[in-house]
Structure 1
Amino acid sequence: MKFFEKLLKSIKKRTDLYYFYYKYYDFFNKNQEIKLYAFLRAYNEKQTIKMSLETMLQGGVINGILGYHLNEQKSDDGTSKILKKFAENNNGFKDILYPYHVIPAHDNRYENNTNANLRLDTYYNYILNHIPKNEWFIKIDGDHLYNPIALNMAIKQITNSYDVIYLPYINIHYKNNKLFFIKDGFRIGDDNWIVKYINGVKFIFDSKINVKK
């Protein structure tokens, strides 16, 4: 946890350093203002989710749906309590409990005729349906830390209803007070994006993607 606190301070420091650059960019960028909703689905992410939500707020995302599910014993590691408290303290957010436990991605149980209520796509769409139609949303993950400057600037890139903003990210691993950068960990577009919630936008189950042979 100390590492994440240091990393958050570093992000704040960079935010201060680039303040004038940001204001310069903001002055000349005249794209439409949008009301962006966070779209978060969480499970057992107690160690990182507070930092993730804090950096998200700093990036200008002040509305959202915070979805979560429990295990078969109707419990979790405390993530649900964190989300409930966050929603209580931030009026633009609402926490939503999905009423079923969910089978993780790449689980071999997806090879069989899995109960649709236990699938990831059903869970994701259940949470997505709580976002108002024709509003923009950003996929937020509970184990990601966001650069507030980059996030705020990404929001301002939107020019029309059919834009999709892909957000790059770097996979890192922290263990035994050491920080590891995952090989080939720089990614763009496959897991972080901003899109408008219009008719036809939904998650679709694909067994070829979700099943690990």
Structure 2
Amino acid sequence: MRFSGFSHLIVQIANWIMKFSLINLLWVIINGPFAVITIIMLSTGSFMEMLVPLTLLMILTAFLLFPSTTALFAITREWIMESEQSSLLKRYWALIRENYRTSFRAGSVYAFIWAVWFLDYQYLSSVNDLLGMILIIAGILLFVNTVVFFCFHSHYRMPMKKLFSNSLLVTLGSPVMLLGTIVLGTSFVYFTARFPVVFIFFTGSVFAYLSFYLFFRYTLSVNRRTA
């Protein structure tokens, strides 16, 4: 009996590892061009040389990064909600297609905001250390807001303006979401830097899963308080 239970646990763990690694690998492949151009941009020597790759990154953010990442959050949401999935790959592609228009529009907005932040940081951090620190804090808040937007977009059916406004309200109004997302993001950056192979197989999918789980628990607590 104990051996049977242990064997079942091993099968479950192997199944979860396969699910996370398969979806993460597909997400990495889709965003391969984004990663390559990011490396090219960061290796350039001058401010002006960054403009062309930065423009390409803005385009890829709208066309590839946001639709594929929204689908990544949506599929991990289904794991948490214990929704049935006949085929992992087919479901992932279906989620990309279902949310593509909204994800593209949102990606265009966030790509512009992130580009403005990046250019401001590159310029102002070299002029004044205090301004550089302020922009780092702004970048952290923008990162949390982007993650919260993915959670909202994958969980609710709302107009675009409502998604943006709710994401901003939760980012600024929930210390749990703010600090939790920062801790998760920092941890994953650290482990990815130490073990780059983790990025290929687990970083995106596990981060999406844990971020949405944190968001889902937060929404449940809000619903209980307002009930």
After TM superposition, the score normalised by the length of structure 1 is 0.27
What is the TM-score normalised by the length of structure 2? Answer: 0.26
Report the structure, 1 or 2, having the larger strand content: 1
- Pick the structure with greater CA Rg: 2
